[in-house]
A = this chain, B = another copy of it.
Amino acid sequence: MSDDLEIEFFFDIASPYSYLASTRIDRLEAETGLAARWRPFLLGGVFKATGNSPPAQVRPKARYMLEDLKRWADHYGVDFEMPAKFPINSLSTQRALVAAGELEAETLPAFAEHLYRAYWTDGRDVSEPDTIAEVADAVSLPADEIVERLDAPDIKETLRSITDEAVDRGAFGAPTFFVGDEMFWGNDRLDFLCEAADAKTGG
């Protein structure tokens, strides 16, 4: 009854709660019967456009977040290590994801998952073009082509336009999900997302 309904997942590799959520996408698809659409956006651009700020800027919140992230990782049974370099400027990383999506849409999720693990479990600096190329290569994407396109005007413009779209639709942080016009913010709202998907699909 809702063949065109999907789960849109706006994500940034720099966002730890987006990493956690990324480990649940397969499960979300199975539970809802909906396909997920991975949409790389620039969280820094979202903060700038909305006047929001990174949670870790408040010192006690940053301390608590670290505990909270570990609790979620344990709860999900996934690895998590705070990277030595945090935060990173994810502009090149997100552009690489956009470039990958244009070259091979079906490989975008695997590329994103590998980048997430490289940063949030292995502590690699995924803002570096060399690391991006290495990860692209690991999922059989044309690494050279992706790195060459990091400054291509159409890639820059597409990343900007995905970010603007998310902001226009109400996003102010990451991860941000949409099911139709219903928005869900945060790794901790996946249950609500599933309920809303069920209500829409009659599932």
Which residues does A use to contact B, with CB under 8 Å?
A: 50-52, 58-61, 63-64, 67-68, 71, 75, 167, 170-173, 183, 185, 188-189, 192
Specify which of B58, B59, B172 is in contact with A58 (CB 8 Å cutoff): B172
A188 to B186, CA, bound (A): 11
Question: What chain B residues lie within 8 Å of A172 (beta carbons)?
Answer: 58, 60-61, 64
A71 to B64, CA, bound (A): 25
Question: What chain B residues lie within 8 Å of A67 (beta carbons)?
Answer: 183
Specify which of B59, B60, B183, B188 is in contact with A64 (CB 8 Å cutoff): B183
Specify which of B51, B58, B183, B188 is in contact with A50 (CB 8 Å cutoff): B58
Chain B residue at smallest Cβ distance from A71: B192
Whole-angstrom distance from the CB of A75 to the nearest CB of chain B? Answer: 8
Chain B residue at smallest Cβ distance from A60: B172
A51 to B171, CA, bound (A): 23
Whole-angstrom distance from the CB of A119 to the nearest CB of chain B? Answer: 24
Question: What chain B residues lie within 8 Å of A185 (beta carbons)?
Answer: 64, 68
A66 to B75, CA, bound (A): 28
